[in-house]
Chains A and B, each alone.
Chain A
Amino acid sequence: MRHILAILLENEAGALSRIVGLFSQRAFNIESLTVAPTGDNSLSRITIATIGDDRVLEQIVKQVNKLVDVIKISELTDRKHVERELLLIKVAAMTDKSRTEVKRITDIFRGSIVDIGKQIYTVELTGSSEKLNAFIETLSNETEIIESVRSGCVGIARGEKALRV
């Protein structure tokens, strides 16, 4: 099962490598990982999407929590939450038909075309990882995908619940 973990940790040199090292050392899976400082510069926030059964997940949460730099860890997928991922994708737009189709599909998915080259459109789309998958699949039926990059997902709990110091 897929889980999204939000981790608040000290913004110290080496903190990220401790997290990544832990996952490889203990053979835990990382589907995606994103990291950036928070509003408080002394803190970083990491979002990890991982796959594992309940037993593995329990170990992941405990092991991450055990790292000295980690302040808090919370599993987002076990409660209501908002999940987003950013996609930038470069597609071939050589014919009128393909240009129209790319524009139309982008509108339907509420993305935006952020760059236009002679024969290439670059599209930006934000949404759940599932939505991004659907978008890429739809586009690939209409035109050639030249390059794509995904941010990995970030998430936040709905309602009052907050991950803070």
Chain B
Amino acid sequence: MTTELFTGAEMVVKALSALKVKYIFGYPGGSILDLYDAIFQQDEIEHILVRHEQAATHMADGYTRATGKVGVVLATSGPGATNCVTGIATAYMDSIPMVVLAGQVPTTLIGNDAFQETDIVGCTRPIVKHSFNCRNLAEIPNIIAKAFYIASTGRPGPVVVELPKDLLIPQNKAPFNIEINVKMRSYNPNIKGHPKQIRKAAKTISEAKRLVIYSGGGIILADASQLLTTLVETLKAPITNTLMGLGGISGKHENFIGMLGMHGSIEANKTMANADVILALGARFDDRVTNNVEKFCPNATIIHVDIDPTSISKTINAHIPVVGLVDIVMQQLLDELNAINFSPDEEALKDWWQQIHLWRDMRSVSYKQVAGEKIKPQRVIEAMYKITNGEAYVASDVGQHQMFAAQFYPFAKPRQWINSGGAGTMGFGLPAAMGVKLAFPDKHVICITGDGSIQMNIQELSTCKQYNLPVVIITLNNRSLGMVRQWQDMVYGGRHSSSYMESLPDFCKVAEAYGHVGIKIDTLDELDAKLEQAFRIKNKLVFVDVLVDEKEHVYPMHIRQGGIDEMWIEKGIKA
């Protein structure tokens, strides 16, 4: 009996099928044509042709954030691969599992400055969880299996696999062997919390008088929101979410006190600052949360649960570190609380909540809309929330609109809010929304964006047409780079250096040129009706261009170098 032999290109496709991949997001080119030829000759995996490789990475990323499945990107060598760099960095910063298959010149030419040769493994080294240079045909299936395993376990992240052309061509063949259940001696993601640390944490929690739970993107990645809600209700404690953690608990839950950090609510930041115990779950004390680390929550005992030990005590010292998967650790905590017959200190809770309600009464996340004046951007988010019943997937770009969406669209469920939190990548929103729409064609998928961000990947309107991805794009058009302008107003004496967008196109006409529908809204009177109209159109992409007040700033806002609760609540007014 002879063993069946396969080309490297066939092996890649077979390996991806074995790993149950449904979609690949990519763009063809010279060194990767053999793989495209293999994709053409099968129908298990669908290839989505984007218009720029950066969009392929964001689209895979959006697909992953909404579904939890590893996104796969395919790009050719050289510029194709380097165009992926921003998307890889975006996924890396937010711990999103992704496998990027990058073409490479033949092994015989590597190092010769060949046409379209770039050392993509070298270029991406600081922004990947791991990477592989394939140099042997027979290794391809197991390298791909390992890439998926590494990308999706532990603290997830992007993995780059470089595929030289001579490993893919029809002339070279080898038998296909794949081990799906990967085992590696150098990589064993520690998954369970240390029992001693769990006992310490439970004891500290049970003795707390002013406990706060601070949860982040780790809850979303671990699909642990139900367990989180149970924990919150057991402890009866206030909970705040990071930008990445929104939806980890329902935004309408009575214990939810809003987002914390730079543009968080006063009640969230005050609660943190005055807590005696902080239980951090899958969050990493990012500088956009802490403000000045020297002044950060001086009276709190910090319990920090994270799968990545490097996140613990990196910026803020953790008194009780717990390394482990957040869902498993939360279950351990609940079991331990049960074992020590925990019951909440009702009296302390009453005082604590009374105080929190006083902070909440300041209504720090609010705005003033006067009839007849320009539309306030926050008003658009509220309308969008109402029309979609709070059930839409919202993929955001980066800037003021992102903060307004985070503040004014309370997310009921995890994976509903999709944004580039760590990297802050403008141009992320549209392709990410497309990835979500591909996964959930029957759901409302919104791309909330601005006139700056949308132009960073606007070419993807063409991809939307090709694959019939009717997302609703809502552009909060303030004719300027709003967040830059806000900083210039607050920090740079109002000098608007290069933050004014002259020569904006008519976005509605741009959308129409690509075969979509454009709706322009420039007065408050027509806002609700026209937005409703946009959401009624189910089978076509609608580009809603809303002209909003360019002078609006995002409040509250951290006072630079202050404590976590030192904030501007509006122009010139400190909390």
List A residues at the B interface (Cβ < 8 Å): 9-10, 13-14, 17-18, 21, 25, 55, 58-59, 62-63, 65-66, 68-71, 165
Contacts and interface: CB of A to CB of B under 8 A. Distances in A.
A55 B315 CA distance: 10
A55 B313 CA distance: 8
Contacts of B184: 68
B125 A71 contact: no
Contact of A59 (B122, B130, B187, B310): B310
Given A14-B133, A59-B310, 13 more contacts: A13-B135, A17-B125, A18-B125, A21-B126, A25-B126, A59-B314, A62-B310, A63-B310, A66-B308, A69-B130, A69-B186, A71-B185, A165-B185
Contacts of B131: 14
Contact of A65 (B125, B133, B309): B309
Contacts of A13: 133, 135
B187 A68 contact: yes
Nearest to A165: B185
9 contacts: A14-B125, A14-B131, A14-B133, A18-B125, A25-B126, A58-B313, A68-B129, A69-B186, A70-B186
Contacts of B310: 59, 62-63, 66
B73 interface: no
Contacts of A9: 186
A21 B133 contact: no
Contacts of A65: 309
Contacts, number: 37
Interface of B: 121-122, 125-126, 129-131, 133, 135, 150, 184-187, 308-310, 313-314
Nearest to A15: B186
B35 to A, nearest CB: 22
B386 to A, nearest CB: 44
Instruction: Output the residue of B185, B310, B314 with the most chain A CB within 10 A.
Output: B310
Contacts of A14: 121, 125, 131, 133
7 smallest CB-CB distances across A and B, nearest first, come from: A68-B130, A62-B310, A71-B186, A25-B126, A62-B309, A68-B187, A21-B125
A66 B309 contact: yes
A48 B187 CA distance: 21
A13 B164 CA distance: 15
A70 B126 CA distance: 16
A63 B311 CA distance: 9
A65 B186 CA distance: 9
B164 to A, nearest CB: 13
B185 to A, nearest CB: 6
B39 to A, nearest CB: 28
Instruction: Output the residue of A9, A71, A165 with the most chain B CB within 10 A.
Output: A71
B186 A68 contact: yes
Instruction: Output the residue of A62, A63, A165 with the most chain B CB within 10 A.
Output: A62
A13 B133 CA distance: 8
Nearest to B146: A68
Nearest to B155: A66
A165 to B, nearest CB: 6
A62 B284 CA distance: 15
A62 B313 CA distance: 11
Contacts of A165: 185
A143 to B, nearest CB: 44
Nearest to A72: B186
Nearest to B313: A58
Given A17-B122, A18-B125, A10 B186 contact: yes
A11 to B, nearest CB: 11
A52 to B, nearest CB: 14
Contacts of A62: 309-310
A55 B318 CA distance: 12
Contacts of A66: 308-310
A21 B258 CA distance: 38
Contacts of B186: 9-10, 68-71
Nearest to B121: A14
A42 to B, nearest CB: 9
Contacts of B126: 21, 25
Contacts of B135: 13
Contacts of A69: 130, 186
